Amino acid sequence: MLEAGAAFVAWLGMSLVVLADGRRGLALGAAIATAGIALLVGQGAGLIDAGALALGGAAMVARRLTRGPGGWQLMPPGSTPRLVLCVAAGLLSLWVAFSVTTGAGAALRFGAMTVVGLSGARALFSNEPAALLTAVGLLALAVAAIAGAGEASPDPWPYVAAAIVAAGAGWVSVRTAHAA
Amino acid sequence: MLPESAEIVLLAAIALAFVFVFAPAAPRRSLLLRGGAGLAGTVAIAAVPTFELVVLVLLTLGVLHAAVDGKQSFAVRLRAPALAVAVFALGLVLARAAGPQVLERFAAVGLVAGLAAGIGLLPYLHPFDPDDSVTVSPIAWIALIGPVLATVVVASARGLLTAEAGGVFGAMLIGLGLLNVVWGGVAAWLTENTIAAWRYSFVADWGLALCGFGLTVVDGRRGALLVIFSIVLCRLPIYLASPQAPRARTLMERPINLVVAAALAGSAPFAGFAARVLLLRGATQLFWPLGLVLALGMLLWLPGSLRLGRSLGLPRGRQAIGVALVLALNIAVGLYPLPILEAARL
């Protein structure tokens, strides 16, 4: 039950990141998604690995709160396609994770697929560096979470590396493009 | 680290050193910093023990490369690496999950799509601006990071996928390879901009390499390795030795331009020829009509290579020494490729 709840929290947070354009909205979404992913990893891999992910996500959230477009900007005008994307991605991932695939770890599969799919979509369809870097950070955390989906117990390195990537993504200095 | 990957990392390091010494008017400081960072990334891709770490290194490289100063926006340049990471990750989830066999096939689709997006091949060509410097342009992905990424992904696919899905993976690589051979060959010939033609010639070469990786016989892998050798230590150095500014380009038809065109086209006795012979032999062993299609596709290199050879102009000074060294090295490997193949344990 806790696993299913954590997977839902991960989807909810990632959906917030897709639906928000302001730094507060992005930071809240990133915080919720990080909590969901860390809880999912904590159930399988262990508390230290989950803690590493949570730490990396927290550093990303702290940075996001200070940089990016101001305010919440939750569901600005024209957000209907994004809302549909969030619901559709959630339903598709739910079907694949709980119905098409079998075996333990369905919640982890659901959480990883929704975060990977939605952060990939956010990276493809956004132009704002703050949103892009938040999506990149969450994508890194989700990639590490997949390490726990295998049969063998994973090493801590993917979690540590993902935490570093997520924390570092917020600090990347993005320059504007030069017109020719 | 796989011996094949280690060898390609070494080739990439040699190519970078070569460019640093011989390229004309190269911005050496930026080349050293950005090329060094790219080389460190390729070493990391080859050295890390798990596929998740490979994907995370790829994501890091994608963000760093997109963030450097260029004519395209950060968002535009981040798209392809982010897409590559996302489809790799979805492929990994499906490969690790238990369920019907079709899941493994979808996992293979994810790995092939991620590979194409990561390198910058069709159908996920990276955005390209001919005015961008080399360190910022997609050439960095296609010629420096891509070769190591491809060998690591192909090796990882053997562990992640079952034999049946592995066959699907190989078939998709061959299909995608043929698409890139035809598209890259025709575009390198017909596109107006010479720098864009160079980029498409890399795409065509990569098509051959993908076909080699997709063939399940050892000659295919040998051919793919030699194609990668000719990308990293023939096409890349000659591209960088040629004048980058469109105004500085003069079309010459001296003997050296014809020799360079022959090297780029993969004619005898250069390394590209040995690669093509091995690929044709592997394809014929597997399914002879595929060999015929590949042979026809290889003819597409001729017009594009003649054009690119002429665009080199007349090399002088250090540039001439560099071009001569590249040609000599490619003749040596073309005549006696065994040390390169044995070093990769192929």
Q: A143 to each of A122, A165, B4, B22, how far by Cα in Å? A: 16, 11, 26, 40
CA atoms within 13 A on the CB side of B14: 16
> Does residue A175 fall inside a structural domain?
no
**For residue A120, which of B156, B107, B120, B117 has the smallest C-alpha distance?**
B117
**Cβ A127–B75 below 8 Å, yes or no?**
yes
Residue A94, domain member (yes or no): yes
Amino acid at A27: A
Neighboring chain A residues of B84 at a CB cutoff of 8 Å: none
What does residue A20 show for φ and ψ, rounded to 5 degrees? -105, 150
Contact B71 A176 (CB under 8 A): no
Q: Residue B115 has which token pair?
A: 């590979």
Helix/strand/coil for A74: strand
Domain count, chain A: 1
Contact status, residue B130 vs residue B195, Cβ threshold 8 Å: yes
pLDDT, average across residues B305-311: 90
**Would residue A108 count as lying in a domain?**
yes
Mutation target for A interface from B34, B63, B104: give the one with most A CBs within 10 A.
Answer: B63
DSSP B344: T
Rounded to whole angstroms, the Cα distance separating B245 from B323 reads: 18
Closest-CA residue of chain B to A115: B86
CA pair distance B209, B231, nearest whole angstrom: 10
Residue B289's domain comprises 3-343
Across the interface, of B59, B85, B99, the residue whose CB is closest to A101 is: B99
Distance CA B71, CA A139 (A): 26
B320-334 mean pLDDT: 93
**DSSP type of residue B127:** P
Q: Indicate if the pLDDT at residue A123 is higher than 90.
A: yes
Least confident of A59-68, A152-161, B51-60, B250-259: B250-259
B178 pLDDT band, cuts 50/70/90, is: very high
- Please tell me the total count of domains within chain B: 1
Whether A103 contacts chain B with CB within 8 A: yes
pLDDT of residue B42: 93
Identify which of A134, A113, A123 has the alpha carbon closest to the alpha carbon of residue A40. A113
Length of chain B: 346
Would A177 be classed as within a structural domain?
no
Residue A95: domain span: 2-169
Rounded to whole angstroms, the Cα distance separating B116 from B112 reads 6
Q: How far is the C-alpha of B217 from the C-alpha of A160, rounded, in Å?
A: 38
Residue A180 has a pLDDT of 41
Q: Which residues of chain A have a CB within 8 Å of the CB of B78?
A: 123, 132, 136
Q: Which tops the pLDDT comparison, B246 or B133?
A: B133
Over 80: is that where the pLDDT of B285 sits?
A: yes
Per-residue pLDDT for B247 more than 70? no
Chain B residue set in contact with A, beta carbons under 8 Å: 48-50, 52-53, 55-57, 59-60, 63-64, 67-76, 78-79, 82-83, 85-87, 89-90, 92-94, 96-100, 103, 129, 131
Q: Give yes or no for a cis peptide into B269 (omega within 30° of 0).
A: yes
